[in-house]
Amino acid sequence: EDGASSSGPLTGRHVLVTAGPTYEPLDPVRFIGNRSSGKQGYAIAAAAARLGARVTLVAGPTALPDPKGVATVHVETAREMFDAVDAALPADIAVFAAAVADWRAASVEPEKIKKGEDGPPQLRLVENPDILKTIASRGFGRPPLVIGFAAETGNAVALGSKKLASKGADWIVANDVSPERGIFGGDHNEVHVIRRDGVESWPALSKEDVALRLMRAAAEHVGASHRN
């Protein structure tokens, strides 16, 4: 079935999901972005709803329709995403699947930047807030289960394990997005779920199946503890 069901392993839970890229404007017509399709995050939001959760999806620009039964908040920049996440808390489970732009322009030109005799513009970039790290390191109001993603080119388990520690996440879902593996933008995903007590490597699955499996594991993890 579609959308939220009346009872399931996540009934009574609030699940917050970020998905998609962020776009960071340079001027009124140009931006810095990335190739994230948003498919995996959208699938996670839909799976959580199917398992009975109340779901908030904070989504950057994608070509996908809003999942049924999910409260979807559309944002463009990393800072807008951060504010929307903050406004949606508290949550029992937070899944940070978005490919947040690491940098934005130090200043956004109010008029279209023109080609000229001065040569190409020298872009000055500043770092965006780290949404996952900020939320995961909160004492009060930290979601009981914080799940991050690590899309890596290279050793996904090693790099993902580093991120588990540096971000303060409970789980990191890591995958290898090297172009020759054809994962980015595709409909399948082969992930390693990294927890503090070990790594589970899942076979190549559809993004829907990764989502369902992840949300079933999350439901089991949060069990019968306090509900938000």
For the segment 189-228, give every residue that binds Ca ion (CB under 5 A). Answer: none
CB 61 within 8 A of CB 30: no
Q: Which does 45 bind (CB under 5 to 8 A by kind): Ca ion, ligand CTP, none?
A: none
- In the bound complex, what is the minimum distance in angstroms from residue 188's beta carbon to ligand CTP? 19
DSSP 67: P
Return the number of the residue (98 or 214) whose C-beta is nearest ligand CTP.
Answer: 98
228: annotated active-site residue? no
Piece in contact with ligand CTP (CB under 6 A), picked from 30-38, 98-106, 107-115, 181-189: 98-106
- In the bound complex, what is the minimum distance in angstroms from residue 32's beta carbon to ligand CTP? 13
For the segment 98-127, give every residue that binds Ca ion (CB under 5 A). Answer: 102
Report whether 96 belongs to an annotated binding site.
no
d(CA 89, CA 17): 11
By beta-carbon distance, which residue lies closest to Ca ion? 102
For the segment 116-155, give every residue that binds ligand CTP (CB under 6 A). Answer: 128-132, 148-151
Phi, psi (5° rounding) for residue 22? -115, 155
Q: Which of 34, 155, 175, 189 is catalytic?
A: 34
CB 23 within 8 A of CB 33: yes
Return the number of the residue (8 or 23) whose C-beta is nearest ligand CTP.
Answer: 23
How many residues touch Ca ion under the rule CB under 5 A: the total is 1
CB 98 within 8 A of CB 60: yes
d(CA 39, CA 70): 15
For 222, half-sphere exposure in the C-beta direction (CA atoms, 13 angstrom radius) is 26
Task: Give 71-76's long-range contacts (Cβ < 8 A, gap of 24+).
Answer: 72/45, 75/22, 76/22, 76/23, 76/25
How many residues touch ligand CTP under the rule CB under 6 A: the total is 17
Return the number of the residue (191 or 222) whose C-beta is nearest Ca ion.
Answer: 191
Q: Which residue, 14, 76, 21, 67, is CA-closest to 44?
A: 67
Binding string, residues 45-64; x marks residues near Ca ion by CB under 5 A: --------------------
- The neighbouring-strand residues paired with 191 are 175
Binding residue ranges: 102, 112, 129-132, 149, 163, 167
Binding residue ranges for CTP: 102, 112, 129-132, 149, 163, 167
